[in-house]
Amino acid sequence: MAHPTQTSGAGELRPGHHWKEADRVREYVERNDEAAGGMAEAFGLLTAVLPFEREASLRVLDIGSGHGILAAVVLDAFPNARAVGLDISEAMMEEGRQRMARFGDRFRYHEGDFADGTLPTDLDDSFDLVVSSRAIHHISPDAKRRLFSDIHRRTASGGCFFDIDNMRPRDDFLRQRYGQAPDPTQIPRTQDRPAGQRTGGGREHHDPVDEQLAWLREAGFAHVDCFWKRLGRAMIGGFKGG
């Protein structure tokens, strides 16, 4: 596992490892709480389209779980589900442990990395549902393709994968149009942070929706689609046949 000082080349932190900085985590959590209401539609739609009975004993993996917002939505919707939150940041997990304490042993963290496009080898091998929210855009297109394949391998028959993330438009014209429209799903920028400066640190890869849908199909998922979209944020997913 990489340490905060390790890089992925040319002095750049490995994707996601900037979240080990406690001050950055604190700022992010505060701003994310402000924008959480704008994501309620996407979260609600995700739980509504899942092919599981509400009383099912689901095994859930939340990739880049952060402080547990999406995992909490799933656990509230499926009272017998158990979730594992995969994250690399101890500061983020400490915040999450407090927020997720109400679920008792139905939620636990697994400290690990997916920056190279593979899930940790010491993670459970089979999940009914794999989800992620605003985490996978930190890794490169090649790493995404590998990750989607590894997720498919770890998904149980009849299970599914959903990713809610930043995904850029196909051209500059659309990018300009998106930039002019208010978007309640976007995390507010702090007043002292210049426009265009990333809060996450390092390079981000907001690959277009259609490219990522193709990678899901390539990985082996069926019934792949974009289930929700709001400007530059979308929810994509696919199902694994039984």
What confidence score (pLDDT) does residue 50 get?
98
Per-residue pLDDT of the chain (242 residues; tens, 9 = 90+): 333 333 344 445 555 555 555 666 666 556 565 555 678 999 999 999 999 999 999 999 999 999 999 999 999 999 999 999 999 999 999 999 999 999 999 999 999 999 999 999 999 879 999 999 999 999 999 999 999 999 999 999 999 999 999 998 889 999 899 888 877 666 555 444 443 334 444 578 899 999 999 999 999 999 999 999 999 999 999 999 86
Q: What is the CATH number of the domain that holds 210?
A: 3.40.50.150
Overall number of domains in the chain: 1
**DSSP annotation string for the chain:** ---TT-EEETTEEPTTGGGG-HHHHHHHHHHHHHHGGGGHHHHHHHHHH--S-TT---EEEEET-TTSHHHHHHHHHSTT-EEEEEES-HHHHHHHHHHTGGGGGGEEEEE---TTS---TTS-S-EEEEEEES-GGGS-HHHHHHHHHHHHHHEEEEEEEEEEEE---SSHHHHHHHHHS--TTSPPPPTTSPTT--SS-S------HHHHHHHHHHHT-EEEEEEEEETTEEEEEEE---
What confidence score (pLDDT) does residue 27 get?
67
- 11 in a domain, yes or no? no
Measured in degrees and rounded to the nearest 5, phi and psi for residue 65 equal: -65, -25
pTM for the predicted model, two decimal places: 0.82
Instruction: Write out the residue range of the structural domain in which residue 189 sits.
Output: 20-239
What confidence score (pLDDT) does residue 179 get?
87
- 73 in a domain, yes or no? yes
What confidence score (pLDDT) does residue 37 get?
60
The answer to whether 22 touches 55, Cβ cutoff 8 Å, is: no
- 3 in a domain, yes or no? no
Tokens, residue 64: 């880049």
What confidence score (pLDDT) does residue 143 get?
97
CA quadruple 94, 99, 104, 107: dihedral sign: negative
CA dihedral 121→136→11→197, nearest 10 degrees, is -160
d(CA 1, CA 39): 31
What confidence score (pLDDT) does residue 201 get?
46
- 89 in a domain, yes or no? yes
- 29 in a domain, yes or no? yes
- 1 in a domain, yes or no? no
